[in-house]
Amino acid sequence: MVDVTVFRYGHRIARDKRITTHIALVARAFGAKKIIIDTKDDSIGEVVRDVNNRFGDDFEVETGVNWRKFIKNWSGIVVHLTMYGEKITDVADEIRKHDRVLAIVGSKKVPGDFYSIADFNVAIGNQPHSEVAALALFMHYITDGKWIDQEFYGKFQILPQKRGKKVVERDYVKLLMEEGCSPEVIDHSLKVQKLAMKIAERIKNNGMDVDMNTVYLASLFHDIGRSKTHGISHIVEGAKIARRLGLPEKVIMAIEHHGGAGIDKEDAAKLGLPPRDYTPRTIEEEIVAHADNLTGNGYRGIEEVVKKFEEKAGKKAAEKVMKLHKKLSEMCGIDVGELI
Contact footprint for ligand SAM (CB under 6 A): 81-83, 105-107, 109-110, 123-125, 127-131, 134
Judged by beta carbon, residue 77 or residue 105, the one nearer ligand SAM is 105
Residue nearest to ligand SAM (CB): 106
Could you give the 3-state DSSP secondary structure of residue 168? strand
Rounded to a whole number of angstroms, the minimum distance from the CB of residue 73 to ligand SAM is 21
Distance between CA atoms of 142 and 257, rounded to whole angstroms?
33
Contact of 180 with 244, CB cutoff 8 Å: no
Q: Among residues 1 and 110, whose Cβ is nearest to ligand SAM?
A: 110
289 and 262 Cβ atoms separated by less than 8 Å: yes
Q: What is the nearest approach in angstroms of ligand SAM to the Cβ of residue 67?
A: 13
234: left (phi over 0), alpha (psi -120 to 50) or beta: alpha
Nearest distance from C-beta of residue 206 to ligand SAM, angstroms: 40
CB of 107 to ligand SAM, least distance (A): 6
CB of 95 to ligand SAM, least distance (A): 14
In angstroms, give the least distance from the CB of 211 to ligand SAM.
29
Least gap, CB of 241 to ligand SAM (angstroms): 39
* C-alpha–C-alpha distance, residues 179 and 192, integer Å: 19
- List Cα–Cα distances, 230 to 176, 190, 233, 234, 236, in angstroms: 15, 18, 8, 6, 11
Entry field: residues in the chain: 340
The string of DSSP codes covering 9-39 is: -S--HHHHHHHHHHHHHHHHHTT--EEEESS
Q: Which is nearer to ligand SAM, 6 or 241 (CB)?
A: 6
Question: Amino acid identity, residue 202?
Answer: R
Q: Are strands 77-87 and 34-37 parallel, antiparallel or unpaired?
A: unpaired
Non-local (6+) Cβ contacts of 154 within 8 A are 52, 53, 54, 55, 56, 57, 170, 213
Minimum CB–partner distance for residue 57 and ligand SAM (Å): 24
Query: For residues 29 and 103, which CB has a smaller minimum distance to ligand SAM in the complex?
Result: 103
Query: CB–CB of 61/48 below 8 Å?
Result: yes
- Give the type of residue at 226: R
- Give the residue with the Cβ less far from ligand SAM, 112 or 164: 112
Beta strands in 113-246 (DSSP E): 120-123, 156-158, 167-169
Q: For ligand SAM, which is the closer residue by CB, 23 or 196? A: 23
121 vs 189, which CB is nearer to ligand SAM?
121
Residue 103 or 313: the one with the smaller Cβ distance to ligand SAM is 103
Question: Can you tell me the distance from the alpha carbon of 264 to that of 270, in angstroms, rounded to the nearest whole number?
Answer: 10
Q: How far is the CB of 32 from ligand SAM (least distance, A)?
A: 14
Q: Judged by CB, which is closer to ligand SAM: 85, or 259?
A: 85
The SS3 of residue 274 is coil
